[in-house]
Chain A
Amino acid sequence: MARFIFNRLISMIFVLLATLVIIFTLMYFVPGDPAISLLGESATIEAVKDIHTKLGLDDPYLVRLGRCLWDFVRADFGISYRSKTPVFGEIMARYPTTLKLTLGSTILGILIGVSAGIVSAVKQYSIFDRVFTTISLFGASAPSFWLAMVLVLIFSLWLGWLPATGSYELKYWLLPVFTMGLQCSAFIMRMTRSSMLEVIRQDYVRTARAKGQTEMKIIINHALRNALIPILTVTGMRLCGLLGGSVLVETVFALPGIGKYILDSVSFQDYPVVQGGVMWICFNCVVITFIIDMLYGAVDPRIRSMYGVKKLSRRQSVKEV
C-alpha cells in the first residue's frame, strides 16, 4: 500500500510538471502583448519596450520556461501583471468561492443522483425510472450557461424569489449550486442506475434475500456497496470537471471564482495568473484522483486484499529465492 501511495505521489509530480510545460508553451505562442494591455492605446513604443524588459517578455522561450519551472519548484506562482499582487494570494481569495460551488454542487449531485439511480434500478421500467431517466438526460445535455440563464429568468426576474447574482448568503447560492448540481446528478444517476442493475442480479444479492434480510439492507449493504466503484469514479471526474469548468456558471451568477479569473486573465494576457490558476486546478484534480483511488480500497475489500496478496506473493517469492 505504501509503495502504491509513493508511486502515485511520484506520478502526480510528473503530471503537474507536464501540465506546466504545456500551459506555458500554449501561453507563449498565444498572440498578444500584455504590455499594450497594461499601458493602453496612448502608450509609446518606448514605454512598451520598457515593460517588456521589466517583465522579461523578450527573453527566449527556454529561458522563460526555465524561470517558470524554477518558480514552480519553489511554489512561487509569480506576480499578476494586472493587479501587481502575488498570484497565489489572488487565487486563494477566489478559491473558497469555487470550492463552495463545486462541493455544494457535488453533494447535491450525489444526493439526487444516487437516490434517483437506486430507485430507477430497483424499479426498472417503472414510471419513476422513466421520469428520472428523462430528467437525467435533460440534465446531462442542457448547457450549464443556458440552464443558468433560464433559472435566473424564472426565479429572479419573473418570480423575484432569489437574487440573480452574488455570493453573500445561502439564498445567493441556491441557483448556481442547483444549476451545476443538476448536471452532476444526471451523470451520477445514470452511472448508479447501470451499476446497480448489474449488481442486483448477482448471486450474493439473491443469497442475502434468501437469508431473509430486509430489502433496504440488501440494497444499501450488499448492492450499493458493490456498485460504488464506478459511482466514485464518475463523482471524482465530475468534481474535477466542476473545479475547472464552472467558469460559465461563475460568469452568469457573478461569482468570483477561479475559472472566471483565469478566463479574464487570458484575454488580458496575464500569463502568471493563467499558469498559476491552471496549475492550482490541476493540483486539486490530482489530489482528488488520489483520494478517489484511496477510497476504492476503503469501499471494496477485494481491492484491499489485492494489495495484501501482492505483498504476500512478494514475500513468498523472496523465500523461494
Chain B
Amino acid sequence: MSANATTPDVIAAKAPRAGVGGRAGRLLRGALRTRRGQIGLLLTLVVVGIAFLGPLFAGNPTALHGGPFEAPGGQAGALGGDSLGRSVLDRVLDGGWRILLISAAATAMAIVLGSVAGVVAAYRGGFADTVIMRTVDVLLGIPSLVFVLMLLSVVGSHAWLVIVGVGLTQAPQVARVLRAAAQDVSERDYVKAVAAWGVPPRTVIRRHVIPSLLTPLMVECALRLSFSIILVASLSFLGLGTQPPTADWGVMINENRVGLAQNVWGVLAPAILLATLAVGTNMFSDAIARANLSSGPAGDPTLQMALSASNVAEGDEPVGLEAIDEGSQ
C-alpha cells in the first residue's frame, strides 16, 4: 500500500483492506465461528474426502463377488454385496465424485447466468428487465426435476446435459435474489450520493453495487450447490443421470432397494453419505447467512442499517440489541 508513505504506522497497521476478497474471507471466517458453520463444513469435508479419495482405495466397482445382496463381511467386502453381487464398499467409494463434479459445474453455471441476468435486469430495467423476469417466471413454472427429466428423456442421458439442465433450473432463483438485492442497494443514499457526482452508472455498479451483493451471492452459492447435489442424485436415482453399471450413490439406492431386507447397506451407505453431504452444505450456507447478521462491517447493508437505525431512534434499545445478539450462538 502506497498510502503507508504518507500516514503514520499506527494507522497502517490496523488498516483492513476492504476489498471484496477481504470481505468474503471475513464472512467465511464469521460463518466458521458459529457451531453450525463448523459442523456444516466438517460434514461436507468428510463426504467430499470420501468421494474424491475413495476411488484410490476402491477395488473394481463392477466386478462380481458372489450372489446378490450378500451379507456384509463376506466375499463382497465389509458392506456386503449389491443386487448383482458387486461390492457395496467398492461402489460407495467410487460413486460420489461424479455427483460432486456435476453439481459443482451446474452450480457455477447457475451462479454466473443468474447473477448476470439479475444485475442486468435491475440496472437496465424496462424491456430487459421484463424479458429476463418473464424468462425466470417461465423457467420456474416447470418443477426443476421435471424440467431436467424432460430434457434428458428426449436427448438422452449425458453429463453435459445434466449440468445444463440443473444449471438452468437453479439460475432463475439466483437471478431473482440478486435482482432484488441490486435494486435494494441502488435505492440507498450512498449510491444516490455517487450519482449526484455524475459518476457513470457502469462505475457505480462496479464500485458500489457489486461489492454489496457479495453476501447474497455467497449464500446463494452454498444454497444452490446444496440443491444441485439433491437434483443430480435424484436424476441418478430415477435412472436418468449416471447410467449403470457405473457406480453412483443415487443409482445404488435405486438398484439395491429391492434387497433392503437382505443387505441394508447397499441402500443405507449411499443414503447416509448423500444425506450428510446435503445437510452439511445446507448448514454451511445457513451459517454464512447468519454470520452476515452478526458481523459488523462486512455485513449486509440492509441489516446494518436496521440495527443502527435503532441507535438514532429515541428508544433505548441499542443496548439490548447488541448485548443480546452477541450472546447467541
**A, B assembled together:** no
List residues of B whose CB falls within 8 A of some A CB.
none
